């Protein structure tokens, strides 16, 4: 096995969640970005601080995700922090990827070693530097092709939350806020919303989450998640982004698009909710 610092994390869900060949993937992303850009109802009036994006297969949530990414400009950010839930592996705390880079069919995205060192210095003992949560996790990986096409060259700080308890979300938000004061780093929170309810029930649950995001209120979102008034598999990443934005101050949330899998497949018996939003 290569030394940890030289390890390149290979694509895990290429061919499943998105096309496995470079040309097909780029073509799919460009099409989704063009469609989303043409349908945008409003754009933020200031520079983007963070994006909330879904992480299902592109055929289900790619159009939703593309709304936020379509607002990005080439070389707009030097680094991107992606915060993802862990679907396949539970561990107590938060894992920062310890390797060299993440790979997609488009190419490698190098880890920002300087940012990782700073994050490890400022974060608490609940943060580990490892591959835990990163091995087969799709929620972080599926964000990368959009970023590669929209930004071009950038470095990455990949973070996976093994546990999304409130104290971790608050601490993670503070640590992210401390690292993002210069405007050269984008924060992406990866999350789907409610899972496998009928169409109307899902929309009712998701409306609670979108309202909390619109209000830029991480405390209310955590309360609603804990009381199950709403659902989000990446509620922790969303809350951390909102805590970071609140700590930075002077920001607002823009809901760009919300739908669920019933809107894309026509099957409304058991759907998954998707949200695209920007914090600016």
90: left (phi over 0), alpha (psi -120 to 50) or beta: beta
Q: What is the rounded CA–CA span in Å between residue 258 and residue 242?
A: 18
As a whole number, the mean pLDDT across the chain is: 96
Tokens of 36: 């989303």
For 67-77, how does the pLDDT look when each residue is reduced to its tens digit (9 = 90+)? 999 999 999 99
Q: What is the band of 45 on the pLDDT scale with cuts at 50, 70, 90?
A: low
Report residue 84: phi and psi, to 5°. Answer: -130, 150
Q: What is the rounded CA–CA span in Å between residue 279 and residue 179?
A: 16
CATH of the domain at 54: 3.40.830.10
What range defines the domain where residue 141 resides? 4-279
For 81-110, how does the pLDDT look when each residue is reduced to its tens digit (9 = 90+)? 999 999 999 999 999 999 999 999 999 999
Cβ neighbors of 187 (< 8 A, separation 6 or more) are 49, 50, 51, 80, 81, 83, 176, 180, 241, 244, 279
Number of domains the chain contains: 1
Instruction: Find the length of the chain.
Output: 280
């Amino acid at each position: 096995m290569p030394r940890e610092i030289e390890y390149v994390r290979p694509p895990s869900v290429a061919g499943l969640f998105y096309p496995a060949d470079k040309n097909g993937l780029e073509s799919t992303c460009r099409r989704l970005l063009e469609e989303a850009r043409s349908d945008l109802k409003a754009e933020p009036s200031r520079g983007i601080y963070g994006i909330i994006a879904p992480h299902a297969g592109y055929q289900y949530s790619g159009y939703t995700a593309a709304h936020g990414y379509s607002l990005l400009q080439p070389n707009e950010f030097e680094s991107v922090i992606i915060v993802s839930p862990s679907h396949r592996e539970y561990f107590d705390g938060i894992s920062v990827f310890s390797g060299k880079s993440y790979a997609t069919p488009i190419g490698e995205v190098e880890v920002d070693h300087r940012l990782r060192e700073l994050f490890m210095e400022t974060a608490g003992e609940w943060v580990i530097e490892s591959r835990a949560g990163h091995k087969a996790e799709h929620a972080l990986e599926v964000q990368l092709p959009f970023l590669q096409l929209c930004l071009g060259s950038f470095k990455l700080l990949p973070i996976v939350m093994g546990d999304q308890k409130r104290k971790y979300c608050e601490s993670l938000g503070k640590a992210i806020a401390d690292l993002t004061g210069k405007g050269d780093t984008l924060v992406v929170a990866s999350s789907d919303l409610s899972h496998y309810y009928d169409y109307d029930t899902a929309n009712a649950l998701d409306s609670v989450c979108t309202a909390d995001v619109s209000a830029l209120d991480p405390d209310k979102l955590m309360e609603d998640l804990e009381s199950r008034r709403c659902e989000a598999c990446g509620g922790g990443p969303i809350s951390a982004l909102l805590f970071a934005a609140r700590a930075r101050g002077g920001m607002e949330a823009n809901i760009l698009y919300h739908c669920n899998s019933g809107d894309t497949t026509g099957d409304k018996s058991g759907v998954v909710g998707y949200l695209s939003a920007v914090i600016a």
